[in-house]
């Protein structure tokens, strides 16, 4: 019997070694800069760190000063060994979880091994580092409760502080869970009062101490994050899947929820309530993250998180229900694998070839589109092995980011800006990064994120302040059905007051304006104001004026709308605009932006419109005659609303 156990342990240890090799085959210690909308904020984060911006004041975003641990794009001053340390810590957590699952599975340990390869790898587990660390945080809390070992609490504490400086909005949830858990552990006599107090003090002390090292204004950091959280759903909600694509995925989500729910009902024990609450809360967070912008990748990520949550149910359910917990895990894993293959089929444009090409690395998949060659298999192996990880580690050079610049700005523009400070609107920060310009952004670095009155105001204040950038590159670009000029209202006012449109430039076939900061501030004077009361689906006639007209309103959700916003997506609000020539357009309206005000007239939807507006104060732009607000889905908003028109004149 002893020899049999020894043989089993040897096989398990060999598997853990194999698992570790595969783990390092599928990851890299550092990444290089890209050139898309997400890459732009990755690069903005790097430049903010290098310039010692204060997070919460100078830089307001979902991610904090350790956000590069999630993106993989390192600041120049950070060695790749730091990312390697995080990778090793991640692997350590994986191996602990697998080992505990081996012990619980007994003779069925091979099921755990196969499952580990399916779900605890970068191809299947959570791609987002902050959510991966959040998962480990939950695991160590549950492990501490089960074993009453303070080491688990200590690791949960370290993870919570790490998450705080990686992704601030998630960290708020983590800190609430941590302190609530400490209180529960004391009241339930799992840990002594002394242990709980020590951990609470360490939590606060380390968080506060690191704020100095990482340039974080903690009150501003948390306050700004709460503003982003409050408006994120309203500004970012979008349906990128067709009804035909979404419904099967919702069915799989429902089946997963049903499987977990049935298991909890059958095996319910009051002593497991803490486990159920953590799993349910995490499921809800994952659901909300995936179903704000309902697209292939986001929903894919949601499904990937389901099996790891089922692992928690398996590990921390009493042995009495171990078999049923294992069966529930297998069911959820099967549902997850089925759903993710369906999403891959969607992403592959409904062809088997396209589906297959969702698996190889991007460059290899692109080459395979033109035809398959056996050498391409070697290309995959060459990119997916531990040697490739070590090679990147020892050859990584920050300056390699600038070897093949994807976007080279015109030399005349570079000469004009020189070493002066510069910002770019609405979001193409990547242009500044690759051309090594002196980045001095508004706090909410990308306009699509400035989706509330408070966030818009912060950006406007920056451009009116003594630290305003000398140059602003400006381009009109719509985002998710919105009017491209009905955002950043305070920034627009600041451009009118403190900047002069001095030049235009062509970047990647797009025309950008070059605004230059002026020493003397122009006075933007409110000339008229008119308050109104209105309803949805009711024409609102605009005051007759040649001056730019700002309209603000407080359009509240109904109870039905609030529930929809909480559990899925907020109702979509639109505005039908009728111009003086009789033409009409419809635009998506964000309620919290509308609260701060929008330049409702004159018409500015193109770069040409914007040129006329900034050069001539809007006098020669097409005017808006009337507007009508309407909801895409009925019953989501209240009945009566108050609005206000304000005309402005530049003196």
Any domain includes 56: no
Any domain includes 112: no
Q: Is 98 exposed, middle or buried (0-12, 13-18, 19+ CB in 10 A)?
A: buried
Q: What are the C-alpha distances in Å from 270 to residues 148, 260, 274, 317, 622? A: 18, 16, 8, 11, 66
pLDDT at residue 2 above 70?
no
**Residue at which a domain ends, from 497, 517, 537:** 517
Any domain includes 187: no
pLDDT attached to residue 127: 61
- Do 558 and 643 fall within a single domain? yes
pLDDT attached to residue 235: 87
pLDDT at residue 646 above 70?
yes
Any domain includes 224: no
Q: How confident is the model at residue 1 (pLDDT cuts 50, 70, 90)?
A: low
The mean pLDDT of 368-397, rounded to a whole number, is 81
Angle at the Cα of 31 from the Cα atoms of 168 and 399, rounded to 5 degrees: 110
Query: What CATH number is attached to the domain comprising 574?
Result: 2.60.120
Task: Report the chain's terminal Cα–Cα distance, integer Å.
Answer: 93
Q: How confident is the model at residue 26 (pLDDT cuts 50, 70, 90)?
A: confident
Could you say which DSSP state residue 61 is in?
A: S
Mean pLDDT across the chain: 91
Taking alpha carbons only, the member of 480, 484, 477, 473 closest to residue 507 is 473
pLDDT attached to residue 359: 84
Q: Residue 466 is encoded by which pair of tokens?
A: 């003594």
Any domain includes 616: yes
pLDDT at residue 328 above 80?
yes
pLDDT at residue 147 above 70?
yes
Could you say which DSSP state residue 51 is in?
A: T
Any domain includes 422: yes
Write out pLDDT tens, residues 504-559. Answer: 999 988 999 999 999 888 888 888 888 999 999 999 999 988 889 999 999 989 99
Which three-class secondary structure state does DSSP give residue 361?
Answer: coil
β-pairing verdict for 471-474 and 624-631 = unpaired
The parent domain of residue 646 ranges over 524-650
The mean pLDDT of 81-88, rounded to a whole number, is 91
**Residue at which a domain ends, from 493, 517, 541:** 517
The mean pLDDT of 221-248, rounded to a whole number, is 91
Give yes or no for a contact between 33 and 17, defined as CB atoms under 8 angstroms apart: no
Q: How confident is the model at residue 389 (pLDDT cuts 50, 70, 90)?
A: confident
Q: What percent of the chain has pLDDT over 90?
A: 70
pLDDT at residue 318 above 70?
yes
- Do 462 and 549 fall within a single domain? no
What domain count does the chain have? 4
pLDDT at residue 362 above 80?
no
pLDDT attached to residue 540: 94
**Comparison of pLDDT for 527 and 328, the residue scoring more:** 328
Q: How confident is the model at residue 185 (pLDDT cuts 50, 70, 90)?
A: very high
**Residue at which a domain ends, from 471, 496, 517:** 517
pLDDT attached to residue 381: 77
Q: What are the C-alpha distances in Å from 344 to residues 92, 210, 291? A: 30, 41, 18
Cα–Cα distance for residue pair 267/461, rounded to 1 Å: 56
- Do 539 and 646 fall within a single domain? yes
pLDDT at residue 124 above 70?
no
pLDDT at residue 121 above 70?
no
Any domain includes 165: no
- Do 434 and 502 fall within a single domain? yes
Cα–Cα distance for residue pair 372/377, rounded to 1 Å: 9
- Do 646 and 539 fall within a single domain? yes
Tell me if the bond preceding 426 is cis, omega within 30° of 0. Answer: yes
pLDDT attached to residue 3: 66
Question: If you write DSSP's letter for every residue of 451-515 in order, what string do you get?
Answer: -SHHHHHHHHHHHHSTT--SEEEE-----TTB-TTSS-HHHHHHHHHHEEEEEEEEETTEEEEEE
54: how many CB neighbours lie within 10 A of its CB? 17
Q: For tokens 């932006």, what's the residue?
A: 593
Q: Is 298 exposed, middle or buried (0-12, 13-18, 19+ CB in 10 A)?
A: middle
Q: How confident is the model at residue 452 (pLDDT cuts 50, 70, 90)?
A: very high
Which three-class secondary structure state does DSSP give residue 251?
Answer: helix
651: how many CB neighbours lie within 10 A of its CB? 9
Query: What CATH number is attached to the domain comprising 506?
Result: 3.40.190
Give buried/exposed letters for 66-89 (b at 16+ CB in 10 A, else e).
bbbbbbbbbeeebebeebbebbeb
pLDDT attached to residue 138: 97
- Do 393 and 464 fall within a single domain? no
- Do 530 and 512 fall within a single domain? no
Phi, psi of 220 (to 5 degrees): -70, -40
Write out pLDDT tens, residues 552-606. Answer: 999 989 999 989 888 888 999 999 999 999 999 999 999 999 999 999 999 999 9
Write out pLDDT tens, residues 55-68. Answer: 999 999 989 999 99
pLDDT attached to residue 468: 96
Q: How confident is the model at residue 78 (pLDDT cuts 50, 70, 90)?
A: very high
pLDDT attached to residue 528: 84
pLDDT at residue 5 above 80?
no
pLDDT attached to residue 358: 86
Any domain includes 150: no
- Do 544 and 627 fall within a single domain? yes
**Comparison of pLDDT for 459 and 381, the residue scoring more:** 459
pLDDT at residue 471 above 70?
yes
């Amino acid at each position: 019997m002893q020899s049999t156990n020894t043989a089993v342990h040897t096989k398990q240890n060999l598997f853990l070694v194999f698992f570790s090799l595969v783990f390092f085959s599928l990851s890299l210690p550092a990444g290089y800069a890209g050139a898309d909308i997400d890459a732009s904020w990755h690069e903005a984060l790097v430049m903010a760190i290098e310039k010692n911006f204060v997070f919460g004041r100078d830089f307001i975003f979902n991610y904090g000063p350790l956000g590069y641990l999630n993106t993989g794009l390192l600041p120049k001053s950070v060695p790749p060994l730091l990312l390697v340390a995080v990778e090793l810590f991640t692997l350590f957590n994986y191996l602990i979880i697998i080992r505990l699952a081996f012990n619980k599975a007994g003779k069925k340990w091979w099921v755990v091994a196969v499952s580990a390869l399916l779900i605890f790898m970068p191809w299947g587990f959570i791609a987002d580092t902050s959510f991966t660390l959040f998962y480990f945080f939950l695991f160590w809390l549950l492990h501490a409760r089960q074993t009453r070992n303070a080491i688990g609490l200590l690791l949960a504490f370290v993870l919570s502080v790490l998450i705080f400086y990686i992704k601030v909005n998630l960290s708020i949830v983590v800190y609430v869970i941590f302190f609530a858990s400490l209180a529960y552990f004391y009241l339930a006599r799992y840990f002594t009062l002394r242990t709980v107090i020590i951990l609470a003090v360490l939590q606060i002390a380390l968080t506060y101490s690191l704020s100095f090292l990482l340039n974080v204004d903690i009150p501003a950091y948390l306050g700004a994050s709460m503003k982003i959280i409050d408006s994120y759903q309203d500004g970012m909600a979008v349906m990128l899947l067709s009804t035909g694509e979404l419904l099967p995925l919702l069915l799989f989500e429902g089946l997963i929820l049903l499987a977990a729910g049935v298991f909890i009902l059958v095996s319910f024990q009051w002593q497991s309530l803490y486990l159920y609450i953590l799993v349910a809360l995490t499921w809800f967070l994952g659901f909300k993250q995936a179903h704000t912008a309902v697209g292939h990748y986001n929903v894919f990520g949601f499904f990937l998180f389901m099996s790891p949550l089922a692992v928690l149910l398996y590990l921390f359910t009493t042995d009495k229900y171990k078999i049923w917990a294992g069966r529930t895990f297998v069911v959820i894993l099967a549902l997850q694998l089925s759903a993710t293959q369906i999403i891959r089929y969607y992403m592959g444009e409904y062809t088997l070839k396209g589906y297959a090409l969702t698996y190889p690395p991007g460059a290899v998949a692109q080459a395979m589109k033109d035809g398959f060659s056996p050498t391409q298999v070697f290309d995959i192996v060459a990119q997916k092995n531990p040697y490739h990880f070590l090679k990147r580690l020892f050859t990584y050079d920050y300056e390699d980011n600038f070897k093949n610049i994807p976007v080279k700005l015109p030399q005349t523009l570079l000469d004009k800006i020189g070493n002066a400070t510069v910002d770019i609107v609405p979001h193409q920060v990547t242009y500044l990064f690759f051309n090594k310009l002196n980045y001095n952004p508004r706090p909410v670095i990308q306009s699509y994120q400035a989706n509330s009155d408070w966030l818009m105001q912060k950006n406007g204040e920056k451009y009116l302040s003594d630290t305003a950038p000398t140059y602003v590159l400006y381009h009109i670009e719509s985002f998710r059905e919105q009017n491209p000029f009905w955002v950043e209202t305070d920034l627009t006012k600041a451009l009118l007051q403190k900047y002069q449109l001095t030049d235009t430039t062509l970047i990647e076939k797009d025309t950008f304006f070059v605004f230059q900061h002026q020493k003397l501030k122009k006075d933007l004077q409110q000339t008229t104001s008119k308050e109104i009361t209105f309803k949805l689906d009711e024409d609102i006639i605009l005051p007759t004026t040649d001056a730019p007209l700002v309209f603000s309103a407080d359009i509240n959700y109904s109870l039905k709308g609030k529930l929809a916003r909480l559990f899925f997506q907020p109702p979509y609000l639109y505005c039908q605009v009728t111009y003086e020539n009789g033409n009409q357009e419809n635009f998506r309206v964000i309620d919290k932006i509308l609260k701060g005000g929008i330049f409702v007239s004159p018409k500015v939807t193109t770069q040409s419109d914007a040129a006329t507006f900034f050069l001539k104060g809007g006098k020669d732009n097409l005017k808006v005659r009337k507007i009508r607000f309407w909801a895409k889905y009925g019953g989501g908003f209240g009945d009566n609303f108050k609005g206000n028109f304000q005309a402005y004149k530049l003196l």
